[in-house]
Chains A and B, each alone.
Chain A
Amino acid sequence: MNFDIVYKKRVEIGDINKLKTQLSEIVGTEWASTEEADLVAYSKDYQLITNRWIMEGTLPGLPHIIVWPENELQISQILKIANEQKIPVVPYGEGSGVVGAAIPVYGGIMVDMKRMTKIIEINKQNLTITVQSGANGKWLERELEKKGFLIGHVPQSFHTSTVGGWIAHRAAGQFSTKYGKIEDIVLSMRVVLPTGEIVDTKLYPRASDGPQIEKLFLSSEGTLGIVTQATIKMWPLPKKQEGVAYAFKNIEDSLKATQLVMQKQVYPAVIRIYDQNETERHFYAEPKAKNRVMVIFVCEAPIESLVDLEISEIRKSCIECNGTDCGVGPVKHWFETRFNVKESSIYIPKGQIADTIEISVMWDTAVECYHSVIAELKKIDGLILASGHASHFYPNGVCFYFTFSGVVQDGKTPEDFYVSAWDAAMIGTLKAKGSISHHHGIGISRARWMRDEHGPVLTLMKRIKSTLDPNNIMNPGKLYDEPERE
């Protein structure tokens, strides 16, 4: 193979053949590989700068070996070996993570969870499904749909992400304002700890029985163990779904309207605010939206009158904030295009450096935060696009999702541009008391901002990490610290 590697500082593994034999004895020879193409396949996730690197013939990282375990016992044995030999282990779902969390920055063992997709139980009385963590979202939806149930968790990456990845990044779906984020949906889980113990957290609707250990693994990004199974909520299929769209003069009015909706305890499944730039991009066909801010709402429920009530309350709030009714056209457009992900394939080959960055903020500084991030992004030399939408809503605050794109100026590298845009968004967020990530996670992209985000709490996190993973084998170089490059 003929590649440069960005994260070159791979651990030394004395005898790779010996390691391969040991791991093959656990998983079977077919399920352990050191073949070139296989290592290259697992060299990246969907951190967007890695797409630029593909075109330059550069690999983000390079694992030493890939294993595909079939059950938690095998994982436990793998982790025990890794722990004894102090070899990094990186769990891998479907590689859709966008912050570099699944990149093997120090090489090591890649543990792909794709063989673990079994549905263990569908409990119609409890409305729960217990499933192995390698299960793909869309696949799960189809299985549930067949039985008349709904999976409320639908991230845009639904077609290309796993239950384990959702937990590891504390993901949020498009319908989350009604059904909750993954932390509201996961009731219990099974985890293999870095030292090989297999633990099950208890299944309950709620309990007052000590610190909630399962919450610890949400957003742990594979650094505290490997989640192998989870019991998550499911819902009856809705009987009615209805959408409305309103255009507002500016972002302030749109935020006010959505805040009103949330605070009168109406929980639409979907709310999305698009700033003027994004409205122009997505809703060019809607004349009433010209130079305005589009907001769409979707309500659904098994009770039809509940939907009617929610829609009428939403209308009242929008009218109160001077919104213009745009009918259902924009909602339909959203449904039709919500999985259309193609910008990276089109613009990255044209030399542009782009990414999306989501953050969260309480209502009292929401407007300030939106403007602050856009202003910081616009300061970057070569920036051509900075826009935002709001995609997740709470009675107490909101999630903004920013998009940037730009070109590299002379004397700078693509990474310089990329990092400066990320830094700008983080600075803009923190200035307005926002939180640096709403649902994509930390990975590599945000690791250097963890101290600013958490202060001394980061030290506490690190203490938990070193207690559970004394040899720091689980996904090193992520979340708590930036990976070393040389």
Chain B
Amino acid sequence: MGILEKIKKNKWLAKLLFTNPPRVTKKIINGFRHEKDFYHVENTHVDMKELLKCALCPNMCRFECPALRVTQKEMYAPATKARLMYHGERGNLDLTDLHTAEVAYMCTNCDGCREWCPMDISTGDLLVQVRADLVDRDIHIPGTKEFNNRVIENQTAFVPDTFSRDSELNVKMDNPEVFYYTGCVMAEKKPESVKANMKVFEKAGIRYCTYTDERTCCGGPLATLGFNETVKEFARKNLDLFDKSGAKIIVTDCPACTNTIRNTYKALGFNHKFETYTSVEFYRHLLQEGRLTPTKPVNISITYHDPCISSRGKMGTIDIENARYIFSRIPGLDFREVHLHGTVTQCCGRGGVSHVHHPEISDTIGKQRIEQLRETGAEYIVSACPACEEGFMFNDGNPVLDIGEILARSIEE
């Protein structure tokens, strides 16, 4: 909004504020000056002003909150979570009571709230900040600290074997154009998708490396749990490795990793200059630039689950259209849109690493999404996030394809 527009918009306000008796105007100004008293807290990671705003909202986004939908309890409605945590931060509620602290984790960070928020607030982001405060105070709900320790020990979210030097996923070459950063989940749970991506890169003539034996977890899952110190350690290691590789472009097969490298690292003070892409963004470029031409018909019916993180919120909405563009280029594909898609996509249940601390809730959310996707009657669910794909496979038992696999299938050998 331009300055003139802003003046026009707020004219009524200025008029209201300055057409009162002086003692009333004084009170109004006092109100503005003392606003901070209502949200000030020492030593916190939390943007308390925003937390209070959210706490005072009538829960205008509550219908979109998957944690609330599954738990069916008022404590876990977005603004109510904000209110309870506001009371916790201000010392009115005791955050060492784990039942209270747990409220901060009843969120899958799907950003559905922000999509509907007139103030562009994400309750999930605020709760992540509360989690960081809890970590600082050594308050942990079951599962989170153990998870952090395990990732530090293994340097990946899973067992380290997948990333061994001899793994077929480990690729090194001189002067690579692209560092293909393989997410922990994709490499461990869906190595076939990693291979498909490698095939696509090769077909497009991309010089790439993976360094699976040297990369560490991006730290994204730990960032959502508030373990910022661990994330910083991983950021340092990964950025050094990217430097060492010589690549200037980082492509990930996991949009959450892209977000961590693109946004979280920077927020934690690591100002790198790498260009970062989700696989979906990158493939669209390759297709548009003519470096890749799908020719082989893929005669299956699919529906697509838009991953929250690359369809709204932190990374914008670009991949919504990118994914559809990719499907439109694949011959033979019968693409069936699910009712709730794009910016109103629904959570897969794996966001906020919920399955680590609340597996039942995470799985129920996942099953509800699978039901919606199955309503399309498509043979396959396709997505572009390994966490979503893994969650669906775990809860459905059927294979779930990555967008890279679909593309790989349409490329002549």
Which positions in A face B, CB cutoff 8 Å? Answer: 1-3, 35-38, 40-42, 46, 51, 54-55, 57, 66, 68, 92, 94-96, 112, 114-115, 117, 136-139, 142, 145-146, 157, 159-160, 277, 280-281, 284-285, 339-342, 344-346, 348-352, 382, 384-385, 407-409
Tell whether, in the assembled complex, residue A407 and residue B24 are in contact, meaning their CB atoms are under 8 Å apart. yes
Tell whether, in the assembled complex, residue B87 and residue A41 are in contact, meaning their CB atoms are under 8 Å apart. no
Number of A-B contacts (CB under 8 A): 167
Ranked nearest first, the 7 interchain pairs of A and B with the lowest CB-CB distance are: A351-B31, A340-B118, A345-B53, A407-B27, A138-B63, A37-B100, A114-B72
Tell whether, in the assembled complex, residue B87 and residue A344 are in contact, meaning their CB atoms are under 8 Å apart. no
A340–B116 CA distance with the chains assembled, in angstroms: 9
Contact of A36 among B12, B99, B339 (CB under 8 A): B99
Given contacts A345-B119, A384-B24, A407-B28, A284 and B74 within 8 Å (CB-CB): no
Closest to A37 in B: B100
Proximity bits, B332-344, A CB within 8 Å = 1, else 0: 0000000110000
Closest to A141 in B: B63
Given contacts A94-B59, A160-B59, A407-B24, A349 and B116 within 8 Å (CB-CB): no
Please tell me if B130 contacts chain A, counting CB pairs below 8 Å: no
Please tell me if B287 contacts chain A, counting CB pairs below 8 Å: no
Tell whether, in the assembled complex, residue A57 and residue B58 are in contact, meaning their CB atoms are under 8 Å apart. no
| Complex A-B: 25 CB contacts under 8 Å | A1-B92, A3-B87, A3-B92, A37-B75, A37-B99, A40-B84, A41-B75, A51-B56, A55-B56, A57-B87, A68-B73, A94-B62, A95-B58, A142-B339, A160-B62, A280-B11, A339-B118, A345-B53, A346-B53, A349-B53, A349-B56, A351-B35, A382-B27, A384-B17, A407-B31
Closest to B27 in A: A407
A42–B61 CA distance with the chains assembled, in angstroms: 18
Q: Interface residues of B: mostly helix, strand, loop or mixed?
A: helix
What size tier do the contact residues of chain B reach? 35 or more
Please tell me if B52 contacts chain A, counting CB pairs below 8 Å: yes
Tell whether, in the assembled complex, residue A284 and residue B99 are in contact, meaning their CB atoms are under 8 Å apart. no
Please tell me if B151 contacts chain A, counting CB pairs below 8 Å: no
Tell whether, in the assembled complex, residue B63 and residue A38 are in contact, meaning their CB atoms are under 8 Å apart. no
A318–B77 CA distance with the chains assembled, in angstroms: 44
Proximity bits, B33-73, A CB within 8 Å = 1, else 0: 01100110000000001001111111111111000000011
Additional 12 contacts, C-beta under 8 A, given A157-B58, A285-B8, A345-B56: A35-B97, A36-B100, A41-B84, A51-B56, A112-B72, A159-B60, A160-B60, A284-B9, A342-B57, A344-B58, A350-B35, A407-B24
Which positions in B face A, CB cutoff 8 Å? Answer: 5, 8-9, 11-12, 16-17, 20, 23-24, 27-28, 30-32, 34-35, 38-39, 49, 52-64, 72-75, 77, 80, 83-84, 86-87, 90-94, 97, 99-100, 103, 116, 118-119, 339-340
A57–B230 CA distance with the chains assembled, in angstroms: 35
A409–B269 CA distance with the chains assembled, in angstroms: 46
A342–B84 CA distance with the chains assembled, in angstroms: 19
**Distance (whole angstroms) from the CB of B5 to the closest CB of chain A:** 8
Please indicate the chain A residues that have their CB under 8 angstroms from the CB of B99 in the complex. 35-38
Given contacts A92-B74, A407-B24, A345 and B57 within 8 Å (CB-CB): yes
A382–B64 CA distance with the chains assembled, in angstroms: 39
A382–B16 CA distance with the chains assembled, in angstroms: 12
**Distance (whole angstroms) from the CB of A50 to the closest CB of chain B:** 10
Tell whether, in the assembled complex, residue B38 and residue A114 are in contact, meaning their CB atoms are under 8 Å apart. no
Tell whether, in the assembled complex, residue B58 and residue A146 are in contact, meaning their CB atoms are under 8 Å apart. no
Contact of B116 among A95, A136, A339, A409 (CB under 8 A): A339
Tell whether, in the assembled complex, residue B63 and residue A349 are in contact, meaning their CB atoms are under 8 Å apart. no
